[in-house]
């Protein structure tokens, strides 16, 4: 079969023939019709985070795909040859973690105060611009703070609106009120008045 592969970290992709995979009793073989290459694939291919995101070379990128079932293992139920299928990130199979490093050490997991990563999607991290070494992390509806550059984490109590608590954040921002930054009371918000715009 044909496949696009990476032969070495940071190298060019090559398109050539590879052996057809053999499947186990609990697996299915899918003929890929389309696939997506996202930022995670690019990071893996570069090798810059190979300690955290190792890949076996040669490597076929593209873990989000759609296609047609070609073959099923003897123990597989619920799928048949010819079925249209797709794959993407699934919370059921997720296993995300938080890593940190300093100038004196290599990457290592930061787990003190954080929950078990099993079944959790990628957390969202943000530094504080006004507090050196302070980071905030949103993970599956929960908010954590580290005051020592990610070495230890503490869960914060946040009164989320019910409709927001199960959502997975795409980004977070660390902000402070005027009263916190300057010691002054914030000015009351001014009501917006209709303005005439001349073009």
Domain of 83, CATH number, reads 3.90.180.10
Extended strands (E) in 37-165: 64-72, 84-87, 99-100, 108-109, 124-127, 135-139, 142-146, 154-156
C-alpha–C-alpha distance, residues 67 and 162, integer Å: 37
Q: What is the pLDDT tens value at each position of the chain, 199 positions in all? A: 999 999 999 999 999 999 999 999 999 999 999 988 888 888 899 998 888 788 999 999 987 889 999 999 999 998 999 999 987 665 555 667 788 887 777 878 888 898 887 777 778 888 888 888 889 888 877 889 999 988 899 998 877 666 655 555 666 677 653 334 434 444 454 544 554 444 4
User: Would 93 be classed as within a structural domain?
Assistant: no
Residue 84 and residue 14 share a domain:
yes
User: Would 24 be classed as within a structural domain?
Assistant: yes
Rounded to two decimals, what is the model's pTM? 0.51
Other CB atoms within 10 A of residue 137 CB? 23
C-alpha–C-alpha distance, residues 96 and 104, integer Å: 24
DSSP 64-92: EEEEEEEEE-TT--S--TT-EEEE---GG
C-alpha–C-alpha distance, residues 32 and 35, integer Å: 7
Residue 81 and residue 14 share a domain:
yes
Residue 81 and residue 127 share a domain:
no
User: Would 199 be classed as within a structural domain?
Assistant: no
User: Would 196 be classed as within a structural domain?
Assistant: no
User: Would 140 be classed as within a structural domain?
Assistant: yes
User: Would 97 be classed as within a structural domain?
Assistant: no
Show Cβ contacts of residue 49 under 8 Å, excluding neighbours closer than 6 positions.
43, 107
Q: What range defines the domain where residue 147 resides?
A: 111-187
Other CB atoms within 10 A of residue 58 CB? 14
Residue 40 and residue 116 share a domain:
no
Domain end point (choices 73, 88, 103): 88
Residue 144 and residue 70 share a domain:
no
Q: What share of the chain is helix, strand, coil (3-state, %, to 5)?
A: 10, 30, 65
Residue 120 and residue 66 share a domain:
no
User: Would 100 be classed as within a structural domain?
Assistant: no
Residue 84 and residue 7 share a domain:
yes
| Distances, alpha carbon 66 to alpha carbons 17, 21, 85, 87, 148, in Å | 20, 17, 6, 6, 43
Number of H helices, E strands in the chain: 2, 11
User: Would 101 be classed as within a structural domain?
Assistant: no
Number of domains the chain contains = 2
Residue 182 and residue 125 share a domain:
yes
Q: Which residue has the tokens 């290592």?
A: 108
Structure token digits, residue 120: 């959790």
Residue 12 and residue 79 share a domain:
yes
């Amino acid at each position: 079969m044909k496949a696009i592969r990476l032969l070495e970290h940071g190298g060019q992709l090559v398109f050539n023939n590879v052996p057809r995979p053999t499947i186990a009793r609990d697996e299915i073989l899918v003929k890929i019709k389309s696939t997506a290459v996202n930022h995670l694939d690019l990071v893996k291919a570069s090798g810059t985070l190979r300690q955290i995101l190792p890949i076996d070379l040669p490597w076929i990128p593209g873990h989000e795909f759609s296609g047609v079932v070609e073959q099923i293992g003897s123990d597989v139920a619920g799928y048949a040859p010819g079925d249209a299928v797709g794959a993407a990130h699934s919370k059921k199979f997720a296993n995300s973690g938080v890593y940190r490093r300093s100038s004196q050490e290599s990457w290592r997991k930061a787990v003190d105060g954080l929950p078990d990563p099993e079944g959790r999607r990628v957390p969202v991290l943000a530094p504080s611009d006004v507090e050196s070494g302070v980071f905030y992390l949103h993970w599956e509806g929960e908010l954590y703070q580290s005051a020592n550059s990610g070495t230890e984490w503490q869960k914060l109590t946040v009164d989320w609106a019910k409709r927001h608590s199960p959502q997975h954040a795409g980004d977070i921002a660390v902000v402070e009120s005027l009263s916190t930054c300057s010691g002054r009371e914030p000015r009351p918000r001014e009501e917006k008045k209709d303005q005439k715009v001349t073009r």
